[in-house]
Amino acid sequence: MENIKNLFFSTKGKINGKEFFLFQFILGLFYVIYFYIFGSTLFGNVLFFVIFFGWYIIITIKRLRDIGVDSKWVILLIVPVVNLLFIFYLLVKEGVDDSAIMKKAEMKNMDLIEQIKSQKWGISKSEYKQIFSEKKWHSEEHPTLNAAGFFDEYLGYQFFVVAYFFDGADKLAKIGMHLGLGTDLIESDKQLKDVYKKLIENLTKIYGKPQFSESIDKEEQKTTSAEYRGSDMKTWKTKDTIVSSTLILFESGSPDPGVGIIWGDIKNDPASSWWAKSELSDGEKPEKLPKDFQLSDEKIEEIKKSMKNSSN
């Protein structure tokens, strides 16, 4: 905790929820001791209220800074009933990491793809949510996967962006953005092709020419299970990330037409690592993509074992 002088007489710095609670406990204790010694008088009551409220404003401003909220909201302290809810919120609200605040400022003038690209693998779910705190978050957690998603407008459409985290560690492993059948404005393959073209243009500006590209015609799609009927795929690989774009048209007969991009942590995510090593070899184009790319839990364990053996 900050030293006593800065704590009570300066609005600089910030305090967490535990310190905010401790301050109130100390102030309450001081209140009991003061009136036990000096008794209750009009002058004493007014003096104590002025000092108490001044200190409370200072502490509240510090707490607001800790949760990343503008200090102007301190005015809620003078609103009856609301002030009690406000104080409770300040007690339980999780603080914002300095790194998250800096990242939000850094991303201010970035578009959605640039914002996703700028994320660091391995950050916590909490920090990730703080970085994107102003987005329209999906109200429900994924029932089986350790994931969190939000909606955001891009190219005039509402994309769904979902981040996947390692179980147990809550560390960022993959991020995907998708525009599909559930979007009200998508009604035709022409729209999907137009959006996909713009996505590829923007990805190419950021990552350069794709290292792998394949378009699949209608006849070839007929030999593939409906759920895997992709119409086009492009892949980029950096030092620590693999990026794949996918176009799935209505005409393919797939139950999930749409466009999407997925970013994966090559170093730590087994699926992304396998994809990078099996389909890319320093930019060398493979002859064919696997048409049944779907990783089961058993397959992931197999990949982990093979990666471990190859590193020994």
Structure tokens at 1: 């905790």
Low-confidence ranges of the chain (pLDDT < 70): 1-10, 96-105, 140-144, 181-185, 217-228, 278-312
Q: What is the pLDDT of residue 289?
A: 40
Distance separating alpha carbons of residues 178 and 158, to the nearest angstrom: 9
Distance separating alpha carbons of residues 119 and 116, to the nearest angstrom: 6
Q: What is the pLDDT of residue 109?
A: 80
Structure tokens at 24: 């109130």
Distance separating alpha carbons of residues 149 and 225, to the nearest angstrom: 28
Burial (CB count <10 Å: 0-12, 13-18, 19+), residue 132: buried
Contact criterion met (CB below 8 Å) for 275 and 263: no
| Helix, strand and coil in the chain, % to nearest 5 | 45, 20, 35
Question: What is the length of the chain?
Answer: 312
pLDDT digits (tens, 9 = 90+) for 216-234: 766 666 666 666 677 888 9
Q: What is the pLDDT of residue 100?
A: 60
Q: What is the pLDDT of residue 144?
A: 66
* Helix (H) or strand (E) segment spanning residue 264: strand 258-265
Q: Which residues does 204 contact at the CB level (< 8 Å), separation at least 6?
A: 210
Relative to beta strand 241-248, strand 147-154 is unpaired
Q: What is the pLDDT of residue 161?
A: 93
Compute, in degrees rounded to 10, the torsion defined by CA atoms 49, 53, 55, 61: 170
Q: Spell out the alpha helix ranges (H) of 39-97.
A: 42-66, 82-92
Single out the residue of 128, 73, 139 nearest to residue 104, CA to CA: 128
Q: How far is CA 211 from CA 118, 243, 269, 283, in A?
A: 20, 10, 20, 5
Single out the residue of 228, 299, 246, 237 nearest to residue 270, CA to CA: 299
Distance separating alpha carbons of residues 215 and 226, to the nearest angstrom: 16
pLDDT digits (tens, 9 = 90+) for 87-126: 898 888 877 665 666 666 677 788 999 999 999 999 888 8
Q: Helices 270-279 & 297-311, crossing angle to 10 degrees?
A: 70
Q: Please name the amino acid found at residue 306.
A: S
Q: What is the pLDDT of residue 221?
A: 60
Distance separating alpha carbons of residues 135 and 152, to the nearest angstrom: 7
Q: What is the pLDDT of residue 287?
A: 40
